[in-house]
């Protein structure tokens, strides 16, 4: 499966590190999906589906970057683009996946980048959507905190907007629209933790968040946010 994915990504410029980063992110999200699907006791079928979805969740990123030279979803929603390429343009057929899973895979991919997951009545879709969102966030935090990719996210000496601090204090995720300063961009990462569904995923996420905190240029300003996150972790029994 990975070789077919690599064949697709070879159509894009892998010498550009931003393309390479998304390729590596896809592979890591696949293995994190397998790891946590096992930890959570998913069935064999669900572990397989979690891996497939992990690998393909950002399928739209490559075409998005080619068209817009940017990963901003303001230009085009990368989840919708990925779903279109896979299921309307039929790239999915190359992957030898049973057709009965197509609609489920499509739904989980479409659920992965919306701000809040709605109530999903289908248990399988709900379980796989929650897992993908959790491991995607673990790996985003790993890229930021450990690999130090996207180093412009380490902030500057600007203030963190009061409204953002309040959201994080109240255990609320922050929407991108509320960001005003450079440090707001860094601060919203401390809201991600409230969107981690499975308790089992919290520790690894928080380890990378702590590494990220240590990379921040003006980290004193962020200490209060880290403290709110620690309080939250305790309340969830971690």
Give the nearer residue to Fe ion in terms of CB position, either 140 or 165: 140
Quick one: 59 or 208, whose CB is closer to Fe ion? 59
Place of tokens 């590190």: 17
Residue 44 CB-density burial (10 A; 0-12 exposed, 13-18 middle, 19+ buried): exposed
Nearest approach in angstroms of CB 82 to Fe ion is 8
Of residues 58 and 63, the one with the C-beta less far from Fe ion: 58
Could you tell me how many residues of this chain bind Fe ion (CB under 5 A)? 1
Both tokens of 118, joined, read: 């709605």
Nearest 5°: phi and psi at 20?
-60, -40
CB of 24 to Fe ion, least distance (A): 14
Subset of residues 89 to 148 that bind Fe ion, contact rule: CB under 5 A: none
CB 89 → Fe ion: shortest distance, Å?
18
Alpha-carbon gap, residue 62 to 82, rounded angstroms? 9
| Residue 176 Cβ vs Fe ion, minimum distance, rounded to whole Å | 14
The footprint of Fe ion on residues 46-75 (CB under 5 A) is 58
Helix (H, G, I), strand (E, B) or coil at 146: coil
Comparing CB distances to Fe ion, the nearer of 79 and 174 is 79
Closest approach of Fe ion to the CB of residue 5, in Å: 15
By beta-carbon proximity to Fe ion, the closer residue of 208 and 213 is: 208
- Give the residue nearest to Fe ion (CB): 58
Query: Which stretches within the chain are classed as H helix?
Result: 2-9, 17-39, 44-56, 60-68, 78-87, 102-111, 123-145, 162-169, 182-187, 202-215, 223-235
Q: Where on the chain is the footprint of Fe ion (CB under 5 A)?
A: 58
């Amino acid at each position: 499966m990975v070789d077919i994915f690599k064949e697709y990504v070879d159509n894009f410029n892998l010498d550009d590190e931003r393309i390479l980063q998304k390729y590596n992110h896809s592979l890591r999200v696949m293995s994190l999906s397998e790891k946590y699907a096992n930890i959570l006791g998913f069935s064999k079928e669900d572990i397989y589906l979690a891996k497939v979805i992990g690998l393909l969740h950002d399928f739209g990123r490559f075409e998005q970057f080619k068209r817009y030279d940017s990963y901003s979803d303001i230009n085009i929603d990368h989840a919708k683009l990925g779903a279109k390429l896979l299921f309307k343009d039929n790239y999915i057929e190359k992957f030898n996946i049973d057709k009965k899973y197509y609609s489920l895979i499509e739904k989980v991919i479409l659920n992965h980048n919306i701000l809040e997951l709605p109530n999903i009545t289908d248990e399988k879709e709900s379980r796989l959507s929650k897992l993908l969102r959790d491991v995607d966030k673990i790996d985003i935090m790993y890229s930021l905190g450990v690999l130090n990719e996207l180093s412009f996210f380490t902030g500057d000496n600007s203030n963190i907007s009061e409204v953002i601090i309040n959201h994080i204090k109240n255990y609320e995720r922050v929407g991108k629209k509320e960001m005003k300063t450079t440090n707001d961009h860094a601060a919203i990462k401390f809201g991600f933790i409230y969107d981690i569904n499975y308790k089992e995923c919290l520790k690894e996420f928080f380890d990378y968040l702590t590494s990220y905190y240590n990379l921040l240029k003006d980290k004193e300003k962020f200490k209060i946010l880290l403290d709110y996150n620690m309080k939250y972790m305790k309340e969830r029994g971690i």
